[in-house]
Amino acid sequence: MQMHGNKGGGHRTGFSKRHQQMSEINVTPFVDVMLVLLVVFMVTAPLLTVGVPIDLPNSQANNLPENNTPLSITIDEEGRIYLQDEEVELQQLVARITVIFENRKEDRIYVHGDQGVSYGRVMEVMGLLNGNGFSRVAMVTDPAR
């Protein structure tokens, strides 16, 4: 009797190629998740800006360079004052800003004044800030069209 090949035991070449583990990483689910996160952040980023809706006056002045996020003071059309998005009284403004800045009077403060509010009200706020040692106070306008 003569035996042809190795039947039964031994190494089966067809089986090992079909059932080997794949060593490649499938990046498609990762890319899908990253694209969804990108869209979510792109949609929510404009909503994260803090402020009170006002009608800013136009100006041809150049934008100021920024190195950190400034504090925002808004004066609406009725003359109400907002620190970021919370309404405050003029008498409380300096005390609140001092607590926020922890005696760092060199930090920038932006004043947003509605073009319908009186110039005197805006200057009253800016003068109060400057008189209390906050020298980096700037007014915000919309670019000229």
| Domain that residue 123 falls in | 50-143
Structure confidence at residue 145 as a pLDDT band (50, 70, 90): low
H/E run at residue 112: strand 109-113
How many domains are contained in the chain?
A: 1
Helix (H) or strand (E) holding 39: helix 28-44
| Stronger pLDDT, 57 or 64, i.e. the higher one | 57
State mean pLDDT over 86-96: 87
Q: Tell me, yes or no, whether 131 lies in a domain.
A: yes
User: Would you place residue 103 in the very low, low, confident or very high pLDDT band (cuts 50, 70, 90)?
Assistant: low
Count the neighbouring beta carbons within 10 Å of the beta carbon of residue 25.
7
CA 24 centroid distance within chain: 37
What average pLDDT does this structure show over 121-144?
A: 84
**Nearest alpha carbon to residue 98 among 71, 80, 124:** 71
91: domain CATH number? 3.30.420.270
Residue 73 lies in a domain: yes
111 vs 75: CA distance, rounded Å: 8
Decide if 37 is inside a domain. no
Structural domain contains residue 70: yes
Euclidean distance between CA atoms 3 and 48, whole angstroms: 80
Tell me the one-letter amino acid at 47.
L
d(CA 33, CA 38): 9
Q: For residue range 23-54, what is the model confidence (pLDDT) as tens digits?
A: 788 888 889 999 999 999 888 887 776 667 77
Residue 56 — very low, low, confident or very high, per pLDDT cuts 50/70/90? confident
Residue 22 lies in a domain: no
Q: Residue 28 domain-assigned?
A: no
Mean pLDDT estimate for the chain: 78
